[in-house]
């Protein structure tokens, strides 16, 4: 301890001051209320869905904590996945899309009543679907389509109405060109709607293997043709907007869009490598999985090159760190997914907890972080109320550190599991070996859940207040890039 | 022809391009697979009760942790032969709310693969005890308990199976545990999960079929031992192979401490067959199984499945493990003796 009084020790605060955002000039309170309702519904589902996830992780350490049928592992697991997919992520993305599409089309949203109807339909379908799952009524235990078809039909109608609403908005756009965000956002809708319909038509799913072909096709694209293009589309708006500069390359975005459609669609069968599904289908899936590196490099390269030299701006923003971390996750963990598709690596990792780590790294590290980046980037501009910067920081670090703990535990644990099987040990040895990894997973999951509680508090801070705010909002000119013209 | 300006062109190509690709990698392969889904020769369709059990299996989300998918990999050999499409031909839709074949292949193996569980754990008693609380038979299991597949009754009615739940896990009020309709259906389904042998006409099925043909001699008979060399030379045998085979194959019923479960599965510690100088009966029971019977004054209802899938080395090692553990100190066996007994059984 050198206690030299002549040295001046600068007082450094725990956190850095982040820059404030300017609210939008036109205060369309109906629009604000609509978007906030979508985002807050999503937040409720986030808390519920991840509370279930956390509870499930505790069950690995304490399987006899209760013996209630409605709370048993097999029934709750699909409640966790479906809630965070269809309740949280989907509604949160649609919330942001309902902002980005009208703004980049320079038109008011085509129909507000229709958008409210969609919100109700989606909320009702997730609520009823979850209750039925807990009652033990599911759709043949088909992952990510566990809601029975009458429930999923309600969800699908909600999504189709949003898609129609947005297409009409784009068709009426006030500028000539369709901004790249809208390619991706509408791509997500136009790919997911036929995907869900194809997945719920029973004709060609009458035996377990034909069902498996569709299951691979569906479960893969349920993630990759809905969440991936949608958050990429949102990021193509939010990132240039927050940095106040155009996207690095418009053409790279277009390249990544078409390769996403052609390559990604082909690779669903890689979820059933070595299953008795057609071998050629598995090989096609592996080849295009590797081809996805092109899409990934184009997409993440574009974002990272846009961010190049903007380190200070990112550090001074509270939403850009989410986007930076999300973009890095997108590259790393999608590339990990491509590698996992190789037969030699599947032989070790398939069926293990490694896959669970991978799905959280992508769905959470990539998709959810970008969703938060978009929400923190958009909502304060709409409502004129910022979240406390300190708590946004705590949210960020709890989420990221929690995810790192969670996925490190399951990545290492999953490898241990696979090696245990390969060594020919009795199966129960792999269960015993996982005990400490499952415990660390629960620790990481606890941090992630806490970050969601903080996010809910931040949402509350950003809520729209009474109309008095409207008059005090400063007028703002200078639009950030909202059309392709800005990139030239 | 400009994607940037013509939204109908952009969205049309996006939509129909995806639908076209979906035909190639989704719908058409599914139709092709479905039209070529013939059940294997000798495969039995599920009975009504077993189909109800499949419904329970799906309803409780068993597929979240259990696969039914043996891959053509060395790591999967423990679960049976590699799966073929024909193995699943009888997994068909469950009803109007689920007009699809349920997804039994699974994607995660937190618990063991169940492709062949009906052969591996052929005892309905074991299945009931295990479902009532898995930790009563497998202490390290993390599987949920399913008490709602059972009823607690003061006195079981005639014809009801009383589940011999170990005291530590049994209801505290002393009532008896009997499976309810869903529990019985689920166990019927689990016991139906046996791989149909490929080329069934020629090969002898290694599964529970042979257990039925197994000799059911009273244990007392075997006390008449043929003279074995009293001071056999100390054999070299693979102790770790014996211990791991025991854990993987035997411990679920006979328990890691060799004490079995009172009333359900006989102890191996001190058992006259296990400690007999002549190992023939011991080897025979391991290879051919045993159809219940009375052991040490207790009548055991559940059959022991044949373990003919184990190699001669594994059988010798596991028998030697049993003969030298829990206070047992009996003569050891060699793989050659196992091979001789195996030859005599065929």
pLDDT digits (tens, 9 = 90+) for A176-187: 999 999 999 999
Could you tell me if B64 and B168 lie in one domain?
yes
What is the per-residue pLDDT for A288? 92
Read off the CATH number of the domain in which B281 is found. 1.10.760.10
- Which residues are CB-neighbours of B276 under 8 A, at least 6 positions away? B222, B223, B225, B282, B330
Per the model's pLDDT, the better-predicted residue between B300 and A169 turns out to be A169
Asked if A426 lies within 8 A of B147 by C-beta distance, the reply is: no
Q: Which of B164, B192, B220 is the last residue of a domain?
A: B192
- Which residues are CB-neighbours of A343 under 8 A, at least 6 positions away? A273, A274, A286
Could you tell me if B176 and B214 lie in one domain?
no
pLDDT tens-digit series, residues A352-380: 999 999 999 999 999 999 999 999 999 99
Q: Is residue B12 part of a domain?
A: no
- Terminal-to-terminal C-alpha distance of chain B: 76
Residue A302 contacts B where some CB pair is shorter than 8 Å: no
- Pick from A177, A268, A351: which is nearest to B25 by CB? A268
Nearest to B283 by CA among B339, B325, B227: B339
The Cα of A277 is separated from the nearest Cα of chain B by a number of Å equal to 7
pLDDT at A418 over 60: yes
Number of domains observed in the structure of chain B: 2
Residue B216 contacts A where some CB pair is shorter than 8 Å: no
Could you tell me if B179 and B67 lie in one domain?
yes
- Which residues are CB-neighbours of B193 under 8 A, at least 6 positions away? B68, B114, B115, B116, B117, B118
The Cα of B192 is separated from the nearest Cα of chain A by a number of Å equal to 16
Q: Is residue B19 part of a domain?
A: no
Residue B203 contacts A where some CB pair is shorter than 8 Å: no
Could you tell me if B79 and B183 lie in one domain?
yes
Could you tell me if B185 and B313 lie in one domain?
no
pLDDT tens-digit series, residues B39-55: 888 888 999 999 999 99
Nearest to B129 by CA among B146, B108, B154: B146
What is the per-residue pLDDT for A325? 97
| CATH number belonging to the domain at A29-464, selected among 3.30.1600.10, 1.20.210.10, 3.40.190.10, 1.10.10.10 | 1.20.210.10
**Residues 337-366, chain A: which have Cβ within 8 Å of B?**
347, 350-353, 355-356
The Cα of B89 is separated from the nearest Cα of chain A by a number of Å equal to 6
Asked if A261 lies within 8 A of B244 by C-beta distance, the reply is: no
Helix (H) or strand (E) holding B300: strand B298-300
Q: Which residue of A lies nearest to B113 if distances are taken between CA atoms? A: A427
The Cα of A46 is separated from the nearest Cα of chain B by a number of Å equal to 21
**Residues 415-454, chain A: which have Cβ within 8 Å of B?**
418, 421-422, 424-429, 431-432, 438
- Pick from B25, B37, B71: which is nearest to A207 by CB? B37
Residue B151: strand pairing partners:
B178
At residue A23 the predicted structure's pLDDT band, cuts being 50, 70 and 90, is low
* Mutation for A interface: B18, B149, B198, most A CBs within 10 A: B18
Residues A266-282, mean pLDDT to the nearest whole number: 89
Q: Is residue B36 part of a domain?
A: no
Q: Which of B192, B219, B250 is the last residue of a domain?
A: B192
SS3 B298: strand
CB B163, CB B177: distance < 8 Å: yes
At residue A400 the predicted structure's pLDDT band, cuts being 50, 70 and 90, is very high
pLDDT at A482 over 60: no
The Cα of B319 is separated from the nearest Cα of chain A by a number of Å equal to 17
Report domain extents, chain A: 29-464
Q: What is the DSSP string of B56-100?
A: HHHHTTGGGT------SSGGGGGG-SPP-GGGGTT----BTTB-S
User: Do β-strands B176-179 and B293-295 pair in parallel, antiparallel, or remain unpaired?
Assistant: unpaired
Asked if B15 lies within 8 A of A194 by C-beta distance, the reply is: yes
**Residues 230-289, chain A: which have Cβ within 8 Å of B?**
254, 261-262, 265-266, 268-269, 271-272, 274-278, 281, 284-285
Could you tell me if B157 and B267 lie in one domain?
no
Asked if B11 lies within 8 A of A186 by C-beta distance, the reply is: yes
pLDDT at B218 over 50: no
Could you tell me if B328 and B232 lie in one domain?
yes
CB B63, CB B209: distance < 8 Å: no
Q: Is residue B41 part of a domain?
A: no
Could you tell me if B183 and B223 lie in one domain?
no
Q: Is residue B21 part of a domain?
A: no
CB A34, CB A165: distance < 8 Å: no
- Which residues are CB-neighbours of B167 under 8 A, at least 6 positions away? none
Q: Which of B158, B192, B226 is the last residue of a domain?
A: B192
Note down the domain range covering B300.
208-345
């Amino acid at each position: 301890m050198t206690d030299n009084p002549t040295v001046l020790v600068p007082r450094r605060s725990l956190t850095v001051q982040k820059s404030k955002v300017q609210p939008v000039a036109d205060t369309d309170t109906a629009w604000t209320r609509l978007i906030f309702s979508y985002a807050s519904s999503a937040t409720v589902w986030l808390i519920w869905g991840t509370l279930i996830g956390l509870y499930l992780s505790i069950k690995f350490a304490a399987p006899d904590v209760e013996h209630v049928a409605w709370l048993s592992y097999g029934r709750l697991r699909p409640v966790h996945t479906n809630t965070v997919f269809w309740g949280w992520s989907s509604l949160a993305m649609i919330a942001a899309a309902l902002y980005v599409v009208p703004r980049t089309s320079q038109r008011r949203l085509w129909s507000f009543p229709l958008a409210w109807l969609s919100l109700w339909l989606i909320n009702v379908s997730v609520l009823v679907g979850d209750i039925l799952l807990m009652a033990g009524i599911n759709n043949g235990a088909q992952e990510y389509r566990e809601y029975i078809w009458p429930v999923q039909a309600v969800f699908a109608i909600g999504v189709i109405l949003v898609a129609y609403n947005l297409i009409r908005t784009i068709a009426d756009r006030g500028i000539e060109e369709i901004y790249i965000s809208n390619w991706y956002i509408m791509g997500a809708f136009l790919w997911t709607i036929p995907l869900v319909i194809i997945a719920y038509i029973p004709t060609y799913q009458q035996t377990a293997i034909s069902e498996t072909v569709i299951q691979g096709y569906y479960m893969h694209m349920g993630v990759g043709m809905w969440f991936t293009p949608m958050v990429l589309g949102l990021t193509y708006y939010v990132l240039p907007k927050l940095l106040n500069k155009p996207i690095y390359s418009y053409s790279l975005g277009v390249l990544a869009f078409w390769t996403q459609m052609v390559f990604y669609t082909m690779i669903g069968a890689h979820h059933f490598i070595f299953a008795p599904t057609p071998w050629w289908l598995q090989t096609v899936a592996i080849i295009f999985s590797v081809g996805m590196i092109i899409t990934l490099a184009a997409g993440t390269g574009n974002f990272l090159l846009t961010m190049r030299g903007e380190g200070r701006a990112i550090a001074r923003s509270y939403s850009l760190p989410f986007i930076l971390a999300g973009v890095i996750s997108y590259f790393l963990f999608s590339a990990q997914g491509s590698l996992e598709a190789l037969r030699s690596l599947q032989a070790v990792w398939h069926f293990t907890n490694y896959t669970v780590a991978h799905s959280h790294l992508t769905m959470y590290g990539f998709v959810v972080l970008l969703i938060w980046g978009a929400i923190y980037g958009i909502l304060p501009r709409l409502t004129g109320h910022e979240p406390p910067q300190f708590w946004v920081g705590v949210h960020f670090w709890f989420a990221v550190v929690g995810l790192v703990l969670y996925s490190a535990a399951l990545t290492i644990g999953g490898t241990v599991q696979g090696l245990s099987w390969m060594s020919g040990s009795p199966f129960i040895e792999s269960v015993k070996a996982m005990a400490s990894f499952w415990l660390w997973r629960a620790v990481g999951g606890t941090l992630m859940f806490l970050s969601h509680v903080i996010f809910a508090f931040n949402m509350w801070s950003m809520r729209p207040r009474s109309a008095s705010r409207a008059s005090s909002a400063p007028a703002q000119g200078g639009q950030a890039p909202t059309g392709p013209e800005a990139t030239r | 022809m400009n994607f940037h300006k013509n939204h109908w062109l952009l969205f049309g190509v996006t939509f129909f391009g995806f639908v076209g690709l979906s035909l190639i990698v989704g719908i058409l392969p599914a139709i092709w697979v479905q039209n070529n889904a013939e059940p294997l020769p000798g495969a039995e369709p599920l009975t009504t009760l077993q189909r109800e059990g499949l419904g329970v299996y799906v309803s409780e989300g068993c597929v979240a942790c259990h696969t039914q998918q043996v891959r053509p990999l060395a790591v999967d050999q423990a679960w049976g032969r590699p799966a073929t499409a024909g193995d699943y031909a009888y997994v068909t839709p469950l009803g109007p709310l689920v007009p699809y074949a349920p997804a039994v292949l699974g994607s995660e193996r937190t618990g063991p693969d169940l492709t062949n569980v009906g052969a591996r754990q052929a005892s309905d008693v074991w299945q009931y005890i295990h479902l009532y609380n898995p930790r009563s038979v497998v202490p390290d299991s993390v599987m949920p308990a399913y008490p709602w597949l059972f009823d607690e009754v003061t006195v079981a009615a005639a014809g009801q199976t009383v589940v011999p739940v170990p005291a530590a896990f049994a209801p505290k009020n002393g009532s008896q545990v009997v499976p309810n309709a869903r529990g019985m259906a689920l166990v019927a389904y689990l016991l139906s999960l046996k791989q149909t042998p490929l080329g069934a006409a020629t090969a002898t099925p290694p599964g529970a079929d042979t257990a039925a043909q197994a000799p059911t001699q009273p244990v007392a008979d075997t006390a008449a031992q043929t003279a074995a060399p009293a001071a056999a030379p100390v054999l070299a045998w693979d102790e770790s192979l014996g211990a791991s085979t025991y854990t993987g194959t035997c411990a679920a019923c006979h328990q890691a401490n060799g004490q079995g479960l009172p009333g359900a599965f006989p102890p191996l510690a001190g058992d006259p067959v296990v400690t007999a100088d002549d190992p023939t009966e011991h080897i025979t029971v391991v290879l051919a199984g045993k159809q219940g019977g009375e052991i040490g004054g207790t009548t055991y209802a559940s059959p022991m499945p044949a373990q003919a899938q184990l190699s001669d080395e594994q059988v010798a090692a596991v028998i030697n493990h049993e003969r030298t553990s829990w206070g047992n100190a009996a003569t050891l066996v060699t793989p050659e003796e196992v091979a001789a007994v195996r030859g005599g059984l065929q």
